[in-house]
């Protein structure tokens, strides 16, 4: 029993023991047969013992039948219960085996008779067949029944005494071995079958689990196009209770159920069936995105499997489609206003322009909010964003099939009109837009009225494209800004020419800077006391090879636009230091650095290197800083100025008195000099208040320990008033000549301007 249990898995052992108690009716038939055969032998021989044996065999068989029938095979659930039931079965079988064996021994040896011997052989041979077939589930039972039922007849034959019966008895031994081998073979065959069935069941369970836990719906079609396999997800999607409900249906029937459930339209159903069926027929993979009536999206995939089985999967990709749509929307539309962004607007307009009548007039207008930066600076960026949103809502009112609105970027919007009759029609439309935008807008509790500038272009669709129209509209916008804002301008050909000229100038200026073609000139700065050159201001000049001299008021803004103004400043600084080192030590030089220069952390290194390379004494160099640089980043600029002053270089505040000049600069910045702007001299000869103001500024600066230079002196009358009433330290202006070359400054180093005697007489008259 123990070996039997140990050699096979527990569940199979339990199954073998259960088989012993299945269909016990055959035991009752055997018992009746045994009793009847014993009765026949008794009637034939008349020996009472056979009658007794007939009754005992019948009783033993009925007892065994009753004992087996009493056990429910399903109650055998584990190894312990199986072992107990096997012992119970063996006990009843042993009793019956012993009784049948006794009948055989009596019939062959004790009371031999030809009929009884034949009856005994019949009983034993008939029972031997059932030993392996009925009791294979227990090796012990097979061994006991073989020993108790079959062995006695062999013993009886051998006890007869003659050699023939003895040998015949021995032949029973191979029979016993065959019976036991057959039982073992049956057990092995059944064990193998059960093991493979177990594997197949486990594999089927795993397949079923994998099939029904996958997120995709799956169906498999046989060669006739009918469903043979479906998973739970497929049943759920098709609103069926179980996958088994799909078996035997065709693909068309399944899709028609979706139509009946309101999930698909009939046209969609026919299209999906056609595409999937074609993919299976052509043995090619194909994916199909289908939108259901409830807004969900499913991706169907069809492919030919093995054994002529077609496989169709369908996955709920609603989240993926929604995510892709969200990404597409984010890429196409402005997040603040919801309007098409620049790229998507370009795409939409391009499609419209190439469609329809190519000779129709189309218009593009770029709309810009005037002074929008001031709103952000004063009210904050959230209010600025709210204003942009409010403007977009106003503009959306004008959108229709022929008018598209987009956000161009920042505070700019773009309008495309697909069909315009003429310029008057365009003017009417833009005037209406401006009228709608001029109304007061409530943004976060602020009542805002803003002004706009716009540039527009009107061209036939066949003669232009989106990019060129945007360029032309932008040029017109620039013209509108130049002319005072708060209006719109229509593109004119001259604007394009001016734009091209400006672009060429930018390219030529860049080349001039790269080849050091700019030259530096120096405007004298004269001491009031000596009337000699005390210093000079380095100025940049550009002599264009074709256009001649280009004014700094033209090329400096261009340099700022293309980002090379710092390169120009560096060239001026190096040249000024180099030339000043050659002049007499009494003459200094001043160089104006731009706001962009002070925005670069390398500005200190630039000054240090220029002084070191030229050998110029640091106190002969003066760096001029403008108010613009201070407004851009006062803290950073002050830090740079302190570092430059630590080198021994002097610092001057240029153009004082213009813009938002603050007196706080005079005592908070590390300054050595103040240069008073020429605007103070405009009416100094005729306006006493202007003179008094100038005197006050100069007096205040001097009290703070600062030298004072007055710029823009052009007449002797101005000079005389300055000399008598203001008394600045230094004088600068065209009265003392225009800017000179480096050699010219050297030549004039000993020159004394012939105003000394006249100025002295004027002073005496004023005090006399």
Q: What is the pLDDT of residues 432-465, one digit of tens each?
A: 888 888 888 888 888 888 889 999 998 888 877 8
DSSP assignment letter at 150: I
Q: What distance, in Å, lies between the first and last C-alpha atoms of the chain? A: 148
How far, CA to CA in Å, does 675 sit from each of 510, 658, 701, 737? Answer: 31, 11, 10, 18
pLDDT at position 20: 76
Span 233-248, average pLDDT: 76
Is the pLDDT at 2 greater than 50? The verdict is no
d(CA 681, CA 637): 29
| Average pLDDT of the residues in 109-119 | 80
Q: Which of 532, 520, 500 is nearest to 748 (CA)?
A: 532
Two tokens at 504?
A: 């060429």
The pTM (predicted TM-score) of the whole model is 0.51
Average pLDDT, integer, range 391-418: 88
**In contact, 404 and 414? CB cutoff 8 Å:** no
| Cα–Cα distance measured from residue 634 to residue 660, given in angstroms and rounded to the nearest whole number | 13
How remote is the C-alpha of 140 from its chain's centroid?
A: 71
Residue 367's closest CA among 296, 438, 456?
A: 456
Rounded to an integer, the average pLDDT of 387-391 is: 90
| Between 621 and 486, residue with greater pLDDT | 621
Q: Cα–Cα distance between 428 and 424 in angstroms, integer?
A: 6
Residue 602 has pLDDT above 70, yes or no: yes
For residues 459 and 468, give the distance between their C-alpha atoms in angstroms, rounded to a whole number. Answer: 10
Strand-pairing partners, residue 656, are 676
- Is the pLDDT score of 106 beyond 50? yes
521 φ/ψ angles, rounded to the nearest 5 degrees = -120, 165
Q: How confident is the model at residue 591 (pLDDT cuts 50, 70, 90)?
A: very high
Indicate if the pLDDT at residue 614 is higher than 60: yes
Average pLDDT score over residue span 27-49: 84
- Extract the tokens encoding 627: 């108010």
The pLDDT tens digits of the residues spanning 321-355 come to 777 777 777 778 888 888 898 888 888 888 888 88
Flag the least confident range among 140-149, 276-285, 403-412, 420-429: 276-285
614/119: higher pLDDT? 614
Q: Judge whether 564 and 513 are in contact, CB under 8 Å.
A: yes
Higher pLDDT, 221 or 211: 221
- Measured distance CA(45)–CA(29) in Å, rounded: 24
> What would the mean pLDDT of 356-367 be, rounded to a whole number?
85
- Is the pLDDT confidence value at 124 over 60? yes
Tokens 């208040």 — which residue? 689
Strands (E), 292-333: 297-304, 310-316
Residues 6+ apart with CB under 8 A from 370: 450, 451, 452, 453, 481, 485, 486
| pLDDT bucket at 680, cuts 50 / 70 / 90 | confident
pLDDT of residue 190: 65
Q: pLDDT value at position 732?
A: 92
Residue 113 confidence class, pLDDT cut points 50, 70, 90: confident
The CB-side HSE value for 367 (13 A sphere, CA atoms) comes to 21
Neighbours of 673 (CB within 10 A): 21
Count of C-beta atoms within a 10 Å radius of residue 8? 17
* Total residue count of the chain as it appears in this document: 768
pLDDT of residue 539: 94
Across 264-285, average pLDDT: 75
Measured distance CA(506)–CA(244) in Å, rounded: 78
Range in 90-104, 155-169, 617-631, 639-653 with the lowest mean pLDDT: 155-169
Does residue 670 carry a pLDDT above 50?
yes
Average pLDDT over residues 581-591: 92
Q: Is the dihedral of CA 106, 109, 115, 117 positive or negative?
A: positive
Q: How far apart are CA 691 and CA 713, in angstroms?
A: 14
- Report phi then psi at 215, rounded to 5: -75, -20
H runs (alpha helix) in 214-260: 232-237, 251-260
Phi, psi of 225 (to 5 degrees): 80, 20
Q: 537 has which bridge partners?
A: 523, 590
Contact 672, 706 (CB under 8 A): yes
When pLDDT is cut at 50, 70 and 90, the band that residue 7 belongs to is: low
Report whether 748 contacts 525 (CB < 8 A): no
Structure tokens, 709? 């230079």
**In the prediction, which pLDDT does 590 show?**
94
Q: Give the chain's mean pLDDT.
A: 82
- Closest to 718 measured CA to CA, from 701, 742, 740, 734: 734
* Tokens 């106190």 found at: 619
State how far the Cα of 194 lies from the Cα of 186, in Å rounded to an integer. Answer: 12
Q: How far apart are CA 101 and CA 90, in angstroms?
A: 16
Look at residues 117, 94, 118, 95 and name the one whose alpha carbon lies nearest to residue 106: 117
What was the pLDDT predicted at 6?
Answer: 45
Residues with Cβ < 8 Å from 162, sequence gap 6 or more?
none
Q: pLDDT digit string (tens) for 508-533?
A: 999 998 998 899 999 999 998 888 99
Per-residue pLDDT averaged across 685-707, rounded?
Answer: 85
For residue 631, the surrounding DSSP H or E stretch is helix 627-632
How many Å apart are CA 286 and CA 141, to the nearest integer? 63
Helix (H) or strand (E) holding 643: helix 634-646
Q: Which of 180-189, 582-591, 630-639 has the highest mean pLDDT?
A: 582-591
- Residue burial 648-671, b: 16+ Cβ < 10 Å; e: rest: ebbbbbbbbbeeebeeebbeebeb
Residue 150: pLDDT above 80?
A: no
Q: How far is CA 665 from CA 496, 630, 693, 706, in A?
A: 44, 9, 18, 12
Of 614, 590, 582, residue with least CA distance to 742: 582
Say which residues have a Cβ less than 8 Å from residue 170's Cβ, sequence separation at least 6: 154, 158
Structure confidence by residue, pLDDT tens digits, 463-496? 778 888 888 888 888 888 888 888 888 888 777 7
Give the bridge partners for 540, in sequence order: 520
**Range with the poorest average pLDDT among 309-323, 447-461, 668-682, 705-719:** 309-323
Assign 206 a pLDDT band (cuts: 50, 70, 90). low
Task: Answer for the pair 694, 684: CB distance below 8 angstroms, yes or no.
Answer: yes
714-735 pLDDT, tens digit per residue, is 888 888 888 888 889 999 998 8
pLDDT at residue 522 in the model: 93
What is the Cα–Cα distance from 45 to 113, expressed in whole angstroms? 8
Predicted local distance difference test score (pLDDT) of residue 538: 93
Instruction: Find where tokens 């110029």 sit.
Output: 616
Nearest to 433 by CA among 470, 390, 479, 398: 398
Comparing CA positions, the residue from 472, 447, 446 lying closest to residue 458 is: 472
233 or 486: which carries more pLDDT confidence? 486
Asked if pLDDT for residue 705 goes beyond 50, the answer is: yes
Task: Reply yes or no on whether the pLDDT at 623 is more than 90.
Answer: yes
pLDDT for the residue numbered 205? 63
High-pLDDT (> 90) share of the chain, %: 14
Please give the average per-residue pLDDT across 25-37, as a whole number. Answer: 82
CA distance 53 to 363: 123
Q: The tokens of 744 are what?
A: 């010219």
| Residue 704 main-chain phi, psi, to 5 deg | -90, 5
CA distance 64 to 92: 5
């Amino acid at each position: 029993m123990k070996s039997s249990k140990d050699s096979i898995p527990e569940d199979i052992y339990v199954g073998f023991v259960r088989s012993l108690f299945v269909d016990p009716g055959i035991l009752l038939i055997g018992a009746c047969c045994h009793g009847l055969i014993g009765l026949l032998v008794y009637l034939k021989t008349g020996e009472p013992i056979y009658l007794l044996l007939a009754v005992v065999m019948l009783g033993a068989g009925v007892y065994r039948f009753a004992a087996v029938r009493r056990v429910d095979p399903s109650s055998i659930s584990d190894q312990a219960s199986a072992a107990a039931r096997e012992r119970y079965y063996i006990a009843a079988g042993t009793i019956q085996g012993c009784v049948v064996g006794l009948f055989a021994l009596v019939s062959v040896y004790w009371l031999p008779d030809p009929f009884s011997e034949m009856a005994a052989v019949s009983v034993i041979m008939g029972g031997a067949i059932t030993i392996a077939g009925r009791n294979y589930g227990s090796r012990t039972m097979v061994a006991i029944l073989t020993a108790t039922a079959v062995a006695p007849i062999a013993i009886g034959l051998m006890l007869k005494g003659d050699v023939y019966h003895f040998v015949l008895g021995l032949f029973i031994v191979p029979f016993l071995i065959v019976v036991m081998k057959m039982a073992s073979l049956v057990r092995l065959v059944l064990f193998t079958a059960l093991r493979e069935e177990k594997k197949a069941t486990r594999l089927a369970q795993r397949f079923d689990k994998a099939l029904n836990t996958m997120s995709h719906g799956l169906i498999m079609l046989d060669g006739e196009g009918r469903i043979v396999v479906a998973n739970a997800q497929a049943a759920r999607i098709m609103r069926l209770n179980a996958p088994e409900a799909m078996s035997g249906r065709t693909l068309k029937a399944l899709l028609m159920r979706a139509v009946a459930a309101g999930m698909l339209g009939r046209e969609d159903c026919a299209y999906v069936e056609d595409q999937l069926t074609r993919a299976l027929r052509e043995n090619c993979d194909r994916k199909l995105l289908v939108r259901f009536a409830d807004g969900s999206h499913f991706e169907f995939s069809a492919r030919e499997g093995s054994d002529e089985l077609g496989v169709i999967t369908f996955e709920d990709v609603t989240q993926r489609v929604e995510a892709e749509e969200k990404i597409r929307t984010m890429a196409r539309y402005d997040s603040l206003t919801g309007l098409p962004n620049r790229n998507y607007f370009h795409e939409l307009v391009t499609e419209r322009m190439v469609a329809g009548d190519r000779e129709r007039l189309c218009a593009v207008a770029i709309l810009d909010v005037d002074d929008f930066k001031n709103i952000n600076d004063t009210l904050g960026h959230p209010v600025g964003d709210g204003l942009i949103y409010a403007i977009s809502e106003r503009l959306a009112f004008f959108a229709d099939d022929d008018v598209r609105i987009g956000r161009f970027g920042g505070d700019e919007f773009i309008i495309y009109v697909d069909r315009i009759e003429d310029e008057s029609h365009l003017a009417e439309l833009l005037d209406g837009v401006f009228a709608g935008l001029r109304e007061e807008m409530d943004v976060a509790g602020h009542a805002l009225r803003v002004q706009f500038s716009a540039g527009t272009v009107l061209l036939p669709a066949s003669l232009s494209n989106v990019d060129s129209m945007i360029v032309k509209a932008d040029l017109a916008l620039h013209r509108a800004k130049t002319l005072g804002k708060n209006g719109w301008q229509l593109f004119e050909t001259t604007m394009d020419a001016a734009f091209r000229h400006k672009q060429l100038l930018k390219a030529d200026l860049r080349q001039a800077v790269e080849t050091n073609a700019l030259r530096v000139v120096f405007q004298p700065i004269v001491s009031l006391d000596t009337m000699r050159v005390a210093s000079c201001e380095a100025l940049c000049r550009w002599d264009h090879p074709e256009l001649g001299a280009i004014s700094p008021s033209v090329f400096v803004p261009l340099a700022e636009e293309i980002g090379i103004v710092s390169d120009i400043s560096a060239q001026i600084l190096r040249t000024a230091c180099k030339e000043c080192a050659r002049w007499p030590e009494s003459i200094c030089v001043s160089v104006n650095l731009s706001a962009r220069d002070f925005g670069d952390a390398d500005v200190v290194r630039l000054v240090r290197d220029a002084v070191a390379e030229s050998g110029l004494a640091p106190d002969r160099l003066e760096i001029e800083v403008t108010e613009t640089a201070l407004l851009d980043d006062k803290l950073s600029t002050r830090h740079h100025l302190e570092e430059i002053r630590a080198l021994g270089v002097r610092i001057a505040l240029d153009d004082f008195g213009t813009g938002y000049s603050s007196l706080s600069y005079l005592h908070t910045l590390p300054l050595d000099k103040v240069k008073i702007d020429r605007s103070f001299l405009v009416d100094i000869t005729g306006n006493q208040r202007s003179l008094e103001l100038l005197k006050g500024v100069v007096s205040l600066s001097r009290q703070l320990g600062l030298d004072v230079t007055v710029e823009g002196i052009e007449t002797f009358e101005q000079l005389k008033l300055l000399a008598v009433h203001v008394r600045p330290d230094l004088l600068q202006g065209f009265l003392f000549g225009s800017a000179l070359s480096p050699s010219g400054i050297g030549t004039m180093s000993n020159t004394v301007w012939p105003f000394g005697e006249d100025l002295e007489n004027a002073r005496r008259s004023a005090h006399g």
